[in-house]
Amino acid sequence: MAAYKGQRTTDEGPRYETVIGLEVHAQLKTASKAFSPDAAAFGAPPNTHVDPVSLGHPGTLPVFNAAVVGETLLLGLALDCRIARRSVLARKHYFYPDLPKGYQISQYETPILSGGHVSIRDEVSGEARAVALTRVHLEEDAGKLVHDLDPTATLVDHNRCGVPLLEIVSEPDLRTPREAALYLQEIRRLVRWLGICDGNMEEGSLRCDANVSVRPVGSDTLGTKAEVKNLNSIRGVERAIAHEAARQIALIERGEAVVQETRLWDADREETRSMRSKEEAMDYRYVPDPDLPPVVVTDAVLAEARAAIPELPAARRTRYVDALGLPAYDAALLTEERALADYFEATLDALRATPSSDEAKAVSNVVMGDVLRVTKEQKLDIAAFPIGPGRLAALVRMRLDDQLSSTAATEVFDAMLTDASSPEAIAQTRDLLQVSDDDALVPVVDQILAANPKQVADFRAGKQQVVGFFIGQVMRTFPGAPDPKRVRALLLERLKG
Ligand code: ADP
Ligand code: MG
C-alpha cells in the first residue's frame, strides 16, 4: 500500500515499517444491559437508565443477559473464531468516578472468542488479506463523565454503566494507517450487517484504541509500542496512526527511544500527547466474579446462532460478481449495507426471476446512482425509501425496453419520490414516453429525408456521419420523445435502401 506522510523513504523505498494492533470496542445492540434489566439504549436523559445493579449498590446481584451471548456468537461465526464453550467473567478493578462498583465485569484468561480473522481488501490490487485476531471478550461499559455542562463541576451520567461491549483485539498484524482504517471499516460493516452494533463512532457505540510501533524494514522483532486513545472516527484512526508512527520514527532518527505509554489523539491539533507511561500502568487485580457463573455456550445455543447468521457481505459480493455478472466495484458498493443489498436484490427479483447480467447491471446502476443520490441528499434510511422495489423494477423495465431516455428515467424517478403512482402513469402524464412505433415515426423520417436531398447525397457518397444530423432533425421535429435507436434504424434502412 502507498507510503504516507511521515514514513521515511529512500530511493530504495521505506526504511521503517509501522506495526499496528487495534483494540476495538463494540457496544452490543441488546434491549437491556449486560447484567441488569435497565434499557441499554443510547440518548436517554442522563441517569434515567439506572437501577441498583448499574449503580453498584451493595447487596445487588448481576444476572447475565443471554442475548449478549447470541450476538457474540454471530460475530464469532462470521470471523471464524474459536468459541469457548465455557468462559469466565472476571472483575477488573480500578477506581474512576464513572465506575460506581469500583470494578468492571470483563473477561481475562478465558475470552469467549479467540483466533479468527478479519478480511481486508487492498484498494489498489483488490487482493484480500486476513488480519489475525487475538481474542474477542465480553465486558460491560462504564458511565460517562461530562466536563462541559457545568463550569465548576464534572458531572457523571450512569446510563451507560453495564451496557454490553465486545472488545475485539487484533494481532500486531496491520502495516499501514490505511490498512488499519480498512480493518476498522470492515468490522463496522460486519457488526452492522449482523445487526449486533450500530457502529456509530461519534456516539461511541464503536470505539478504537490503536497500538503503534515502528521498526526497520526487514526486522522481525517488534518495536516498543505506544497506545493511542481517543479516536472517534475512521479517518481519525488513520491520521492518528500516521502521526504517531512519524513521531516514533523521528525519535529513533534522533537517537532517542520510544517509551511504552498511553497517548491521547488531539484531532484539532493533529498530534498525540502522553497520558500515562507504562510505570503508571494499573494492576487490575483480576479475579473471577463470585456473583456470576461461567458463561456456557450449549450445543443448542450454538445451533441457534448458526441458523441465525445471514449471508455475509463477502459471500454476497462474490455471488453478485459470479452469478449476476456485476463488476466488482458495483458488488462492493451494493454490499456496503445489508439493507441496501436487500433492496437491490428485491428490485432484481421483481424485475425477473433469473435476470441476465444486463438486467442486473441496469438495476445496479439505478440503485448506485439515483437511489444513493437521494438517500444521501435527504439523509434517508433505505428501509424508509419512498420507492419500493416493485415500482423501481417497473421503472428499470421501461428503461430496458427503451420506453424512456435516461434523462426521462431520472425525471420519472424523482417524481416517484413524492407520487405513489406507477412509473408508466407518471411517464404518460408528463409525456415522457419514447415513441418507437413505426406508424408514428416513418412519416416524420420520410419528411426529413425529402427535405434534405443534399445530405442524402452526401451519405450515399460515403459521408456516414450525416446520419447524426438526420437523427437530430427527426428528434426535433417529432411531437413527443421518439426512441433514438428506432429512429436511427429507420433512417439507415432508407438511406441504404
Ligand atoms: P498490553 O499488555 O499493553 O495490553 P497486549 O499484548 O495485550 O498489550 O496487546 C494489546 C494490543 O497491542 C494488541 O492489539 C496487540 O496486537 C498490539 N500490540 C502488541 N505489541 C505491539 C507492538 N509492538 N506494536 C504494535 N502493536 C502491538
Ligand atoms: Mg492487553
Give the tens place of pLDDT for each residue, 270-311: 999 998 877 666 799 999 999 999 999 999 999 999 999 999
The residue to mutate among 92, 211, 275, 278, having the most atoms of ligand 1 within 8 angstroms of its beta carbon, is 211
Ordered DSSP codes for 97-126: TT-TTSEEEE-SSS-SEES-EEEEE-TTT-
CA-based nearest residue to 112, from 142, 143, 133? 133
Q: Please give the biggest Cα pair distance in the chain.
A: 101
Strand order in 103-106's β-sheet? Answer: 103-106, 90-93, 287-288
Q: How far is the centre of ligand 2, averaged over its atoms, from the C-alpha of 345 (Å)?
A: 42
pLDDT of amino acid 447: 94
Percentage of the chain modeled with pLDDT above 90: 87
Nearest ligand 1 atom to the CA of 222 is: 23
Ligand nearest to the CA of 245: 1
pTM for the predicted model, two decimal places: 0.87
Amino acid letter for position 433: L
CA-based nearest residue to 118, from 204, 185, 165? 185
Ordered DSSP codes for 136-189: EEEEE---EEEEEEETTEEEEE-TTTT-EEEEEEE-S-B-SHHHHHHHHHHHHH
CA atoms 30, 33, 36, 39: torsion sign: negative
**Burial (0-12, 13-18, 19+ Cβ within 10 Å), 300:** exposed
CA atoms 375, 380, 381, 387: torsion sign: negative
Q: How far is the centre of ligand 2, averaged over its atoms, from the C-alpha of 107 (Å)?
A: 11
Give the tens place of pLDDT for each residue, 465-485: 999 999 999 999 988 888 888
Q: How far is the centre of ligand 1, averaged over its atoms, from the C-alpha of 172 (Å)?
A: 6
pLDDT of amino acid 1: 44
Nearest CA to ligand 1 atom 14: 21
Q: How far is the centre of ligand 1, averaged over its atoms, from the C-alpha of 225 (Å)?
A: 7
Q: Are 415 and 426 in contact (CB under 8 A)?
A: yes
Nearest ligand 1 atom to the CA of 23 is: 14
Q: Can you tell me the distance from the alpha carbon of 327 to that of 336, in angstroms, rounded to the nearest whole number?
A: 15
CA-based nearest residue to 293, from 98, 35, 489? 35
pLDDT of amino acid 3: 53
Ligand 1 pocket by C-beta < 6 Å: which residues? 19-23, 169-172, 211-213, 222-223, 225
Query: What parts of the chain have a pLDDT lower than 50?
Result: 1-2
Nearest CA to ligand 1 atom 7: 169
Nearest ligand 1 atom to the CA of 223 is: 23
Give how far Cα 443 sits from Cα of 353, 489, 490, 491, Å. Answer: 39, 14, 11, 11
Q: Are strands 16-27 and 206-216 parallel, antiparallel or unpaired?
A: antiparallel
Q: How far is the centre of ligand 1, averaged over its atoms, from the C-alpha of 18 (Å)?
A: 13
Give the tens place of pLDDT for each residue, 204-263: 999 999 999 999 999 999 999 999 998 989 999 999 999 999 999 999 999 999 999 999
